[in-house]
Amino acid sequence: MRNYTKFYIGGEWIEPTSARTLDVFNPATEKVAGKISLGSVGDVDKAVKAARNAFDFWSQTSIDERIAMVVKIAEVYKKRANAIGEAITEEMGAPAWLAGGPQTMSVIGHLMTAIDAMKDFKFVEDKGASRVVKEPIGVCGFITPWNWPMNQLAAKFAPAILTGCTIVHKPSEIAPFSAYIFAETLDEAGLPAGVYNLVNGDGPIVGAAISSHPNIDMVSFTGSTRAGVEVAKAAAPSVKRVHQELGGKSPNIILEDADLDAAVTGSLATLMMNSGQSCLAPTRMIAPKSKMKEIIEIAKNAVEDWTPGEPATAKMGPVVSESQWNKIQGLIEKGVAEGATVITGGPGKPEGLETGYYVKPTIFADVTNDMTIAREEIFGPVLVIIGYDTEDEAIKIANDTEYGLAGYVQSGDIDHARKVASKIRAGYININNSQMDFSVPFGGYKRSGNGREFGEHAFDEFLELKSMLGHNPASAA
What's the pLDDT tens digit per position in 146-160? 999 999 999 999 999
Give the mean pLDDT of 73-83: 98
Q: Which of these is catalytic: 90, 91, 245, 461?
A: 245
Q: What is the pLDDT of residue 476?
A: 62
| Residue 140 annotated in active site | no
Residue 229 binned pLDDT confidence (cut-offs 50, 70, 90): very high
Q: Is residue 96's pLDDT more than 70?
A: yes
Classify domain 251-431 by CATH number. Answer: 3.40.309.10
What's the N-to-C CA distance of the chain in angstroms?
71
- Give the bridge partners for 468, in sequence order: 131
Residue boundaries of the structural domains of the chain: 2-246+448-467, 251-431
| Residue 245 annotated in active site | yes
Give the mean pLDDT of 448-471: 96
**Cβ-based burial of 51 (10 A; exposed 0-12, middle 13-18, buried ≥19):** buried
Give the mean pLDDT of 314-328: 98
Query: For the chain, what percent of residues have pLDDT higher than 90?
Result: 99
Q: Which of these is catalytic: 90, 140, 173, 279?
A: 279
CA distance 81 to 100: 7
Classify domain 2-246+448-467 by CATH number. Answer: 3.40.605.10
> pLDDT tens for residues 20-71?
999 999 999 999 999 999 999 999 999 999 999 999 999 999 999 999 999 9
